[in-house]
Structure 1
Amino acid sequence: MSLLFRSRQQGAQQVNISGFRRFVMFWVHNLQQAVASLGELARYPMASLMTMAVLGLSLTLPATLYVVVKNTEAIGADWQHASEITLFLRKDLSQQEVSTFHKRLSLSNDIESVRWIDKNEALQEFRESSGFGEALDALTNNPLPDVLLVLPVANKRGTVQAQQLAQQLRNEREVEQVRLDLDWLQRLEALLNLVRDGLLALAALLCIAVVLIVGNTIRLNINSKRDEIMVMKLVGATDGYIQRPFLYTGVWYGFVGGLIAWLATAVMILWISGAVADISELYESQFALIGLTFNEMLVLWLLAIGLGLLGSYIAVRKHVRTIEPQ
């Protein structure tokens, strides 16, 4: 009787620790299967590297286009006089009134700088450059107004923001006319929007292609191990246990493919940075090509891993379940 009691007591102790053991063994098995799936890829290095290279190069194109768009936006932002607002003041204003208005605009939080072009200086410059000196001398009054060149702060240089600021300045009592030439900037923004939309469409198509490539590769791996999977199911292995190594294979595809995409993008940026520097020097500009930041590289790498996992998940969910022992 006592032996039976001790046996039941030992069994109860095993039940009490079996939950912890299952938790530990779950992660141990996951680690073992992750390493085993990597070893399986190493058995066929050429085929594995080709799949990883296709995945990586498929992500290189949208990553490179993203860098192009980002640098184009930086060029537009560096062109600070693109959104410069020209204010033609009323001719009946005195110099004191113009000076007061100039100082008031300089203190505005929406304005970075204000340059005052005196009407007498403007007339003298026009006389020297136009060749109409005698005709201008015949005039009794200066026909030119005082002009203020207003440069908005950085966050007000967009098309919409600059137009809103111009409208506010148009309502000022001292202002006769406002000129804001944003035609080329509007064209640039429209072109960038088109490129962004095209980039998103291209990235979506290439991501779908990556998922299909990984899914097809995993499907072939499953079919090659069909007999092994049937034996595992005969001895009681669950679908989740069987699927796990294939899922890790997809993760490894994405892991290495993401590194290849990052390296390929970095090499392309390094390759063309010299030509960009030469062009910047010819135009007397300090522009330098901007590559991917650490966060952007991390997003690219995680995206590749996620696509690899998604492709393998679709394949194993569809094909492992259909394999049953006869």
Structure 2
Amino acid sequence: MSVLFRSRQQGAQQVKISGLRRFLMFWVHHAQQCIGSLGELARYPFASLMTMAVLGLSLTLPATLYVIVKNTDSIGANWQQASEITLFLRQELSQQEVQTFTKRTELAEEVDSVRLIDKEQGLAEFRQRSGFGEALDTLTDNPLPNVLIVVPREGYRTPAAAEELVRKLSAEREVEQARLDLGWLQRFQAIVNLVRDGFLALALLLCIAVVLIVGNTIRLNISSKRDEIMVMKLVGATDAYIQRPFLYTGIWYGLVGGIITWLATGALLWWLSGAVRNIADLYDSQFRLNGLNLTEMGVVWGLAIGLGLVGSYIAVRKHVSAIEPR
């Protein structure tokens, strides 16, 4: 005898009960139907696990893409070299004025750090790298300006924010010219936006697929219990009462599917972490792939349960009400 009949048979024994007892029995019936729906799944373990695995693996791809987008944003926030601003200071500035301007720039809200390359240091580096030492010795004056290398804070490393900071610094009296290679930033930001948009589109499609898969599975369950549902309605069971075990079945699908998503996402990220570590080492970077934290995993789990519930709700609302005793 299925959970539908067991719960209804027990409920039919109550003839006259108080409001408190009615309230308690309402939740008792819920618990019975919740556990009973789990028992129904256990009767067909292979088919149930297949549906749960499809749900879990369908959510694994958007979860993994989310992790990639999150780590890509982290790379962009810490990619200092691509957002460094080079300030060429005026030749006529004294050393004291250069130092004062350097300290003032360091105190700016948008600035993370400032590195001063004075003209003497710049000439020495140019001499070493260019090989024109003898030619440079003939110069009576140092033609190179003092240079400031400005690194914006994390929130100001996007192309728009960095360009605004360049305009602000260019307006300073001490600055002859400010330069920022926006090409790197713009290309990188375009890639990040493309990955993010692709993630959102794919996540939406896969969520719809999960709802359809769960809905179709619940529809088949309802069809297999058609005669039982007709008898239940003949003895006075409401649609809401009959729908309840199927809704709990959808919740169980989502609950176990969320666990599968967590395990599959963790395994996939573990497999990718070695390749990511090797690439980071080639660039002398300490970057490591960060997976889902507890809050994000809770969101994924809640999403899986919600999609299972939505899919089952759509199915039961359409098909249970369509079954009427003749």
Give TM-score, length-normalised by structure 2.
Answer: 0.92
Deviations 1:200-251 (A, max 9, x none): 1111111111111111111111111011001000100001000100111111
Determine the C-alpha separation between the residues in 1 that align with 2:73 and 2:317: 43
CA positional deviation for 1:131: 2.5
SS, match of residue 113 in structure 1: strand
**Residue matched to 1:117:** 117
Aligned residues: 313
Deviations 1:36-56 (A, max 9, x none): 000000000000000000010
Deviations 1:176-201 (A, max 9, x none): 00001121121111111111111111
Mapping 1:278-293, distance limit 5 Å: 278-293=278-293
Determine the C-alpha separation between the residues in 2 that align with 1:165 and 1:15: 77
CA positional deviation for 1:26: 0.8
Letter in 1 for 2:105: L
Letter in 2 for 1:168: K
- 219-228 or 181-190, which moves further after superposition? 181-190
CA positional deviation for 1:17: 6.3
Determine the C-alpha separation between the residues in 2 that align with 1:280 and 1:134: 40
CA distance 1:113–1:279, shift in 2 (3 Å): same
- Which structure 2 residue ranges, 5 or more long, are not aligned? 1-13
**Residue matched to 2:8:** none
Deviations 1:104-131 (A, max 9, x none): 2222232222111111221232123222
Deviations 1:245-297 (A, max 9, x none): 01111110111111111110011111222222233233322111100010110
Determine the C-alpha separation between the residues in 1 that align with 2:47 and 2:24: 34
SS, match of residue 97 in structure 1: helix
**Residue matched to 2:153:** 153
Deviations 1:80-135 (A, max 9, x none): 22211111011111112112211222222322221111112212321232222333
CA distance 1:243–1:19, shift in 2 (3 Å): same
Determine the C-alpha separation between the residues in 1 that align with 2:299 and 2:18: 39
Determine the C-alpha separation between the residues in 1 that align with 2:275 and 2:113: 34
**Residue matched to 2:72:** 72
**Residue matched to 2:81:** 81
Give TM-score, length-normalised by structure 1.
Answer: 0.92
- Which structure 1 residue ranges, 5 or more long, are not aligned? 1-13
Determine the C-alpha separation between the residues in 1 that align with 2:168 and 2:279: 39
**Residue matched to 1:200:** 200
Determine the C-alpha separation between the residues in 1 that align with 2:20 and 2:218: 33
Mapping 1:228-307, distance limit 5 Å: 228-307=228-307
SS, match of residue 287 in structure 1: coil
Determine the C-alpha separation between the residues in 1 that align with 2:71 and 2:208: 27
